[in-house]
Amino acid sequence: MIDWLASLDWAWPWAFAAVPLPWLLRRAWRPAADSGGEALRLPFFDEAVGLVGDSQRRRGRSGSMTMAWLVWLLLCVAAARPQSTGEIEIPPRSGRDLLLAVDVSGSMAAEDMRIAGRPVDRFTAVQRVLTDFLQRRVGDRVGLLLFGSQAYLVTPLTFDRGTVAYQLQTSAIGIAGRETAIGDAIGLSVKRLREQPQAQRVLVLLTDGVNTAGTLQPLEAAELARAENLRIYTIGIGGDSQYGGMFGMLMPQVADQIDEATMTRIAESTGGRYFRARSAQELAAIYAELDRLEPAEQHGETLRPIVELFVWPLSAALLLAALLAATRLLPRRREALP
């Protein structure tokens, strides 16, 4: 009880100045002056007063006046807005504005990845690992960009990581074309992140090939990113070899080459890092490393929630006012009955 009273505060304490207002108005509102004329004299006045129960009426009037004063006092208390402060809270705030650029070109259909011992294509492995990665980015705003022959922003920056994961899961290989426009993907990312705080701009770009389409060269796009303080982490995905079918037999094929030198220069020139993922396990380890390099959650300013309590004195005042009206009206209705 003592702790609750200690946390009690008043938003508008000046409202208590209105407490004596009815008393002041009553004092200022004087009765009309006596005209000096003769009043009607009743020799049996005392007996008449006794018949109507003067003492009982005075007690009822006194009780009504006390209740009216209590109603007014409760209204003044409610007008002062009593508040109670809760426990200190430290809410999370956005640590990063993180844009994920994922390659959906035709080469992502190569089945050189394994999940739970089952061979899967590269894009399926990316979908699985990125979904787990998104679940850990609490407090971040995340966006999704897909690129093939062209680059498209699928999901703008949002705190709704579930929507980003859904858009990734429902995407398909070749949806943006069969070639690879790495430079255009970086250029579009720069455009979308330009208005965000400089210390929070991060792009994670995942591809399995070399730049074969688009109007902007990757290194030129990296210069634009560096000028806008956009940090880029590049990931090259793909096994050293892949297998294809021929007459019912599995035959080794040469894997698509990744331009690792360009990917490394893009990352290092913008303050990021280049990673190579040859398996789903390595890809998961890379995103775990990104969690360490780019912490997802930071603590914001401490907050102490405020609970408004004016509803309680206001409700009590309305209840007493209704009760007072009922006690005044019931006797009159009884007197009106024959």
pLDDT digits (tens, 9 = 90+) for 216-245: 999 999 999 999 999 999 999 887 654 444
102 closest CA partner among 190, 191, 171, 198:
171
DSSP 8-state symbol, 303: B
Q: What is the mean pLDDT of each run of 10 residues along the chain (338 residues)?
A: 64 88 78 55 52 53 78 89 74 70 91 83 89 83 92 91 92 91 94 79 89 91 92 85 43 60 93 88 86 62 73 89 78 55
167 within 8 A of 155, measured Cβ to Cβ: yes
- Cα separation, 151 vs 101, whole angstroms: 9
Pairing of β 118-120 and β 113-115? antiparallel
Say how many C-beta atoms besides its own lie within 10 A of residue 146's C-beta. Answer: 24
Q: Are the beta carbons of 206 and 102 closer than 8 angstroms?
A: yes
Q: What is the pLDDT of residue 146?
A: 95
Which pLDDT does position 168 carry in this prediction? 92
Q: What pLDDT sits at residue 280?
A: 83
Where does residue 12 rank: exposed (0-12), middle (13-18), buried (19+ CB within 10 A)? exposed
Q: How far apart are CA 138 and CA 118, in angstroms?
A: 30
Q: Is 29 left (phi over 0), alpha (psi -120 to 50) or beta?
A: beta
Between helix 45-52 and helix 54-79 the angle, nearest 10°, is 60
Question: CA-to-CA distance for 260 and 242, rounded, in angstroms?
Answer: 18
Sign of CA dihedral 261, 266, 267, 270: positive
The CA distance from 75 to 70, in Å, is 9
Report pLDDT for 28.
Answer: 78
Q: What is the pLDDT of residue 199?
A: 67
The pLDDT, as a whole number, for residue 133 is: 87
Residue 253: what pLDDT? 44
Tell me the three state secondary structure of residue 297: strand
Q: Are 202 and 239 in contact (CB under 8 A)?
A: no
